[in-house]
Structure 1
């Protein structure tokens, strides 16, 4: 694996505060969150497709979508889990929740069609020429799966989970990655159990062989999930989260 399968750390985190500015529409049986740019800064023919972490369409990702829309991109986020997204409370003691059973309900042959139909919607109904894919945790795998000609043109992922070597080695577009540093520094744990140091190095080797533009940026003082579920009362985590989003925007500005 280029990154490990999801684990409890993929659910741990914080619900962020804010009010979503977009709207959710049900299209073809799937709920899709849309956030629209103002006409004055609209980037014609370009859109961003957010493939979420295991929480699905929730305020954390909606606020990110709204920010990307404010930067000029039509931004859409399909519900990959058909209403079965998780929350930080899913692992509460006594809940009886089993992550592996949950993952078994959402394999690639169930998730792929949701993304396929959303890409088709953007291409045919919204006349989008170029799509940037943003994948957090669970969604990072699917950015790589769909980073193909005619699908997603440019990819960005933060702390991705369970990407296979084959998926990473067959991407056909530029890819940017945000990752947490894995070390114990000054008594502070900085760790990503999913994208470990060894797997990160392996991923770099794979991307170098692919030969397409890629970027891998490390953030200290944070753990897995920092870019979407971090504790924003912590200034270091807040800074890393904002810089990771700025990284995605800079990448799209260059390649999308």
Structure 2
């Protein structure tokens, strides 16, 4: 793999303060959070979350920041109502969750269940919301699906951005058909230096535009769940967001 499977660090972190400006609605039976820029835009951002999910205030505030910068932003529920609570107390078996054993209907958070959600969101952005260009942002778990939907056979998003990715396979990364940027943490057992260097080699092979930024003094999850009272974390989080804006400004 170009990045390893999710682990406990994927649901640990700090809740941020703020009031979301967007709204919740549904595409079919999938709940989404959507926020619009003040001036109508033909560019959209699809945010694919970590396992804390679309109702997490931290990611909603990030969506609001994209809207403030001129993008229609959408966050879908990737987990059919079964995200992992932040800092989940008690015993928790990540593999059991991945197998759908915690979900009331046994629906597992696997590609066969998640890809159709993303397809529906992209269709909604392209048609109802009239987005001519779409950038996809993936945090941790969501990174895999940014890469999957940047594939030639799909061609659904125009550019991608990943922060501290998890569970991306080498073949998925090798198959991208568009520009991809990555923000990485210095301390990250899911995306350590070995995986980062391996990803760099694969991205060179693709011939597509790429960028990898490494932030010192921060750990996995910094771009969404980091403690922004810590100066290094706040700087890395804000700079990673600016990195994404610049990337989309160039390629969307």
Same-fold call, TM cutoff 0.5? yes
Cα separation, 2, equivalents of 1:194 and 1:148 = 23
Structure 1, unpaired ranges of 5+: 182-190
Q: Are the equivalent residues in 1 in contact too, given 2:163–2:184 (CA < 8 A)? A: yes
2:80 corresponds to: 82
Structure 1: how far apart are the matches of 2:86 and 2:60?
Answer: 17
2:105: which partner in 1?
none
Residue 102 in 1 paired to residue 105 in 2?
no
Separation (CA, whole Å) in 1 of partners of 2:98 and 2:225:
19
Is residue 138 of structure 1 aligned with residue 141 of structure 2? yes
Q: 1:118 — aligned with what?
A: 121
Secondary structure of 1:221's counterpart equals strand
Q: Distance in 2 between matches of 1:86 and 1:31?
A: 16
**TM-score normalised per structure 2:** 0.93
Question: Contact 2:13/2:87 (CA < 8 Å) preserved in 1?
Answer: no
Q: Please, which runs of 5 or more residues in structure 2 have no aligned partner? A: 100-107
Q: Report how far residue 88 of structure 1 moved.
A: 2.5
> What residue number does 1:186 align with?
none
In structure 2, the residue matched to 1:176 is: 181
**1:226 lines up with 2:222 in the alignment:** yes
- Name the CA distance, whole Å, in 2 between partners of 1:67 and 1:125: 22
Structure 2 counterpart of 1:147, from 150, 157, 172: 150
Q: What residue is the counterpart of 2:45 in the other structure? A: 48
2:78 is equivalent to residue 61 of structure 1: no
Name the TM-score, length of structure 1 as normaliser: 0.92
For 2:167, which of 154, 162, 175 is the aligned residue?
A: 162
* Poorly superposed stretches of 4+, deviation over 2 Å: none
Moved more, 197-206 or 102-111: 102-111
Following superposition, the deviation at residue 126 of structure 1 comes to 1.6
RMSD: 1.0
1:82-130 deviations in Å (ceiling 9; x for gaps): 221112231x2xx232111111221111111110111111112222111
Give how far 1:136 is off. Answer: 0.2
Partner Cα distance (1:17, 1:193) in 2: 28
Rounded to whole Å, the distance in 2 between the matches of 1:102 and 1:160 is 19
Distance of 2:47 and 2:79 partners within structure 1: 14
